[in-house]
Structures are given as structure tokens and as C-alpha cells.
A and B are shown apart, each in its own frame.
Chain A
Amino acid sequence: MTRKFDRRHVLAGLGGSLALPALGARGWAQSPSVKIAQLEILSGGFALLGESNARAVEIGVEEFNARPGQAVKLEVQLFDSKGSAQEAQTIFSQVADQGVRYVTGGGTSAVVGSLIDAIGRYNERNPGKEILYLNHQAIDPDFTNARCSYWHFRFDPHVLMRMDALTTFLAVDKSVKQVFLINQDYAFGHQVQNGAKEQLATKRRDIKIVGEELHPIGRVKDFSPFVAKIKASGADTIITGNFGSDLVLLIRAANDAGLDVKFYTYYANALGAPTALGEAGVGRTRLVTGMDLNALNPRMQWIHKRLREKYPKIELFHAAYFDMIDMLGAAFRKAGSTDPRAVAKALEGLTIEGISGEITMRAEDHQMLAPLFVQTFGAADGVAIKKGIEGTNFGFRTEGRFKASETIQPHSCVMKRPG
């Protein structure tokens, strides 16, 4: 074994599995800190995603609590949802019994959807003890449309907002003629596929969709059969929402087979994808993201530095949790309370300065409007791409900026509000 036993990691692992606190019910009421239960996938194929989320929130909360004059402190309790709705429900009942009033994370949209439903039911039966769900990563548009809930707030631009930014960019690229859609076979992947088809049909009628594939999430270990199919389809561009190993292995198989296409992605900046892309991805891999690593504000610079020092294996790739923490703090101040009922009311329509521009929580559907960036993979030059990511020499150069007001998508949410 080449590496020394990492004690911190072991402790963290234990903490994850033994996170049940010894506090009695409603212990939080006397304590000055607000408890947030964070559920992440900390085991299995998407464990790195869960760990990255957990570490980023940990540092974000550390920064929040350390601000001078911070009256309300946050305290995060971390749980392993194992990517299963069943497991998430069990954890939710436990934390609800302990009087935790804020829940975030969960994993995939399937898990988050079940959490939102469970919280809705719980709040109906337990007036005065309402729980808020703070969504930092599940971007299935349904959560702020057909399935919207008053107790759910999403701090991350959803699939169609991101697809709009991505296709606006794609539409200008005249070399794109034939597009292949490959996505994970569950709610999120379906939304990416349908969103791409609808938006391309209005923005560039001449583009042909030459293939659509939905593959099981996290189970394909060799994408070469898919790559052979993409090659045979004559596609010049791929649009994919894949993340984690599903993206890494797709890229690897594409590079192995010499597939010469452009990649339009949601998550190519994270979890092994930059490493897999390497030289072969330069100039032909695009990304839509909520954060520009090359132009971080002082707060984010501190968080970035701290995260990289404390957890060198974890990269900063996602922005929503930091806006979520800040907005929660602003809502506490505005409401003069940390009670979820008052905070929910305060969050509606709240506008603050986010990590990369003005952000607003839309009152009608609880979807946050935040800036988006379209970026292209390239070699780090210290200016446009400040630093390589994941220990490589490569990073993402920002080519398109969208203000929060430019990302607005219509919604169909009819919300049942508490009386």
C-alpha cells in the first residue's frame, strides 16, 4: 500500500455512519445553532459526488459561522442516503423526530422527489413543526413545476434553464449539424433529452437529432458499444447530462475509439471528467455551470483555498450550496426568526448578491434565478483559465455569461400555500 492510512478520512467515515446525535427531541430550541440534516450518497458508485457535496457544504458553513457578528450559527449533520429513496425516508423520520427543521441534499432526483413528498406529508400532519427542504443539486424541472411544493426551495438552476444557456451557445456554432443525445435513464436524464430536443427544434431547425440513448445510471462500465453506435450515426455533437463515472467512462470510450465529436455537458468539470478528457477534450468540450472558477469573489476564494487545503482530493465544482447558505442567512435576518414557517415566507422573492451576481428566489415556484456560465475546456494559462483542475493542466474558460434575469424559464407551478 502506497498511501498512509488517512485518519481524518476514517473518522469522517465513522462520523457518516454514526451521525445520529445524542440530542433529545427539540434540543435545538435551546441551542443557538440551526441544525440542517444533509443527506448525500456517501457509498457506492457516486460516493465521490456525495463526499464532494458534503465537504463543500462543510467549508461553506465554516465560513458562514466565522463571519463577525453572525448571530445564528449553522450546524450540519451528515447522513448517507446510499442513493436510495427508502434509506432517505428512514433518515428523514429520524431527524424529524429529533426536531431538525431543515433538510438538504439526498442524491439523485429520484431520492429528492421522495423527500419532498415526505416533507409535504409531514408538514400537513405536524402544524407548527414544519420542515423546509433546501435543494442544492436536484435539477429535475418538475420540482418547481408540476410537483412544486411550498416547503421546497431550489437554489440551483434547473435542467431547462441550463439547457437554454447551452443551446443558445450551441445554436451559434454552425459546424453543429447532427446531434446525439446520451443520458442516464431516470428523471434527470429524460429531462435533459427532452429539453435538448425541444430547444433545438426552436433555436436551430436545421439540426438533426441522429440518435437518443438512455442507459442505466451508474451501471455501465464500458461505453464502447454506445460509442460505436454514436460513430455509426454520423453525429458531430453529443449532448449529455451524465455525471461522475457515467461521464468519465463515456469520455474514455470516446477517446479510445477516436470519436471526433463536440461534447455539450452539464458536469464535465467534476468527479474525474477533466482527468479523463485530457488533451483530447481541449476546445471541443463545453459545460454549463453556475460558477466561474477563474473569477471568484473574495468569499469564494477563501472557501476554494480552504477546501483544497483541507481536502486536496476534493474539487470545487458546484455553486448552489454557497448561495443556499447565504440566502438562508439573509432569510433568518429578514424574518427575525429561524422558524421554517417564517423563513419560508422570507425566502419568497428574496434578492441578494450571490457568489457571481444577483440572485432571486422566485416566489411563485421557489426556483432561484442565478447567473449561469458556458465554458470551454482548455489548457490553463493563468488568465482565462487560472488553474488546472484535478491536478491536470486543464480547466474551463468562460465564453458565455448569463445574468439571473436571462435564465428565466416559464413555470406551471400551482402551489398549495399554508393558510
Chain B
Amino acid sequence: MDFIFPAALNAISYGLLLFMLAAGLTLVFSLMGVMNFAHASLYMLGAYFAYSIARQAGFWVGLVAAPLLVAGLGMLIERHVLRHLHARGHIPELLFTFGLVLVIEEIVKLVWGLGAVDYRVPPELRGTLFEAFGTRFPMHKGFVILVALASLGAIWWLIARTRTGLVVRAALANPAMVESLGHDVGRIFTLVFGLGAGLAGIAGAVGGAVLVTEPAMAAHLGTIIFVIVVVGGLGSIKGAFIASLLIGGLESVLIAIDVRLSDLLMPLKGLSSGLDAVLALKASQLAPILPYLLMVAVLVFRPRGLFGEREV
């Protein structure tokens, strides 16, 4: 039991980081009606921008400036490319975001090199937050939780509690009506896209320092947040939240428990030699494929996801 507790804290920290990404992605999905494949690439840019700024002006400046840069970049993309493509339907938008993934990855490799860069949390965050059951919980993990809760709280307040948020929600639900009421819907869309990109930027500035900043980071997290958004239900923030914690937790817990498939499925033992190889796998070895199994299961049994309003 003594390693379940640190595992749970790890899960929450990782899950909230995933949620920062998934929240932005699902927000942008509500707006565009298509998946933004480049969302994780914006996360990666957040990390690299923060790294470059941090080397000149320190970590804290990078933490603030990088997300703003990424948000600005996101708004430029929405204003000057996606808006024009939107008129031509979903496929061009989808293809564009997919192309953007490849372009951003190549640019990152050219500018910052192929390997991981040394982007770390500053010394004041390297200590131990507290010690429990003989394992230290590092301060930077607590910091991830703090940043995630703060930025998500701010977004929630903005969307649910302000007049601007009211207009945004209205514009997402019925843009034509809001436009005829005299609001600039185009600007609102740009703002929402920027917001999503900014969230990805914050997640990158924090996640890059806590995990690893490398050209492959977008591809790695990209698939996971895709899974989260589909499992949670496209367009549902609540669903994204539950799915983030679920998938963040799944990995940590599976690694923590020492179970082989054969222990769970005793009766199947000895059926065939091929099956024996599968049964010998440990739970921790299954951790990487479980999110994808979960996605497939959700798509088969509940195509709109846990809390989604529309079918995929």
C-alpha cells in the first residue's frame, strides 16, 4: 500500500497536465468542429519557447511569456489560415492541422536540434514538497498541480462567470444568431483558439520542464490527448477532466501493482503457447496500450464518449 499513495499523487499531477492540453483541444473542437491535430505541437512550442526565454531571462519570465507567444501564434493561425479554410469544409482544416504538425516538428529540429534540450525547473522548485511513506513528493510535481488548477480555474471563471464568456458560449452554440445580435463572431473564434493555444503553451512551459523537452514530445502526448478527448466525449470539458485523470491514473497504478495477466485469467492457462506469452505479460507492460484499448472500447460501446453530446 505504501507505494499506492505516491502513485496516486503522480497520477493526479500527470492527469492535470494532460487535462490542460485536453481542455484546450476540446474547446477548439467545439469551435471548429474538427480535431486540431497540431494542438500537441503548440504544447511543444510552448516548451521550446519557454526554454529559450528561460535561458535569457529566467524560468518565471519564460513561464509567462511562452504561453502568450503560443496564444498569439494560435490566433494568427486561426485568423489568417483556418478561417479561410473553414468555408471549404472540415477536410481542408483537418489536413492543414495535420500538415502543421509536420512543419512544426521539422522547424523545432532545425532550430533546437534533434536531441532533448536541458530545460529544467529552477532551483527553487527542485526541493521536496513533503515526505510520505518514505518517498519524497517533489515540489515541481506540486507546482504542476498548482499551475493546472490556477489556469483552468481562470478559464472556467472567464467562460462561466463573465459577460465575455456568455457571448463566447453563445457563439459556440449558435454563431449566426450571435452575429446578428451585433457581436464580432470572427473575433470570438480567434480569441477562443488563442485561449486553447495559450493553455497548450502553459502546459508546455510546465510539462517540458518537468518531463522532457524534445522533438518527439508532441507526437507522444498528441496521441494521448486525442484518446482523452475521444474517451471523455468530443467537446465536453467535464469528460476531458474525468478522462485525463483516468488515463493519467491508469498508467501509474498499473505500474505500481505487480500482477500478471495469468493471475487474473487462471482458467485460460495452457490453452495454447501463443496465449501463454500474452498471459505472462505483467500489468506494467500493458500500461502503454491500455489508453488505446480504452478508446476503442468507448468508440464501440459509447461512440459519443463518456460525456459527449455529439457522435464522433
Contact = CB atoms under 8 A, between A and B. Distances in A.
Interface stretch (A224-232, A318-326, A405-413): A224-232
Given A257-B135, A258-B128, A248 B113 contact: no
Nearest to B254: A225
A75 interface: no
A215 B199 CA distance: 30
A412 B109 CA distance: 44
B3 A231 contact: yes
Contact of A1 (B52, B214, B251, B288): B52
A222 B256 contact: no
Contacts of A229: 3, 255-256
Given A1-B52, A224-B10, A228-B7, A43 B114 contact: yes
Interface string B236-267: 00000000000000011001100000000000
Interface in B151-172: none
A231 B2 CA distance: 10
Interface size class of A (residues with CB under 8 A): 35 or more
Contacts, number: 113
A213 to B, nearest CB: 6
B215 A232 contact: no
Contacts of B216: 44-45, 47, 218
A9 B212 contact: no
Contact of A313 (B113, B135, B214): B113
Given A2-B52, A214-B285, A257-B138, A225 B256 contact: yes
B220 interface: yes
Given A1-B111, A44-B216, A257-B136, A232 B3 contact: yes
A225 B8 CA distance: 9
A185 interface: yes
B118 interface: yes
A57 B52 CA distance: 31
B55 interface: yes
B224 to A, nearest CB: 10
A228 B115 contact: no
Contacts of B3: 228-229, 231-232
A3 B6 contact: no
Contact of B110 (A2, A13, A227): A13
A245 B212 contact: yes
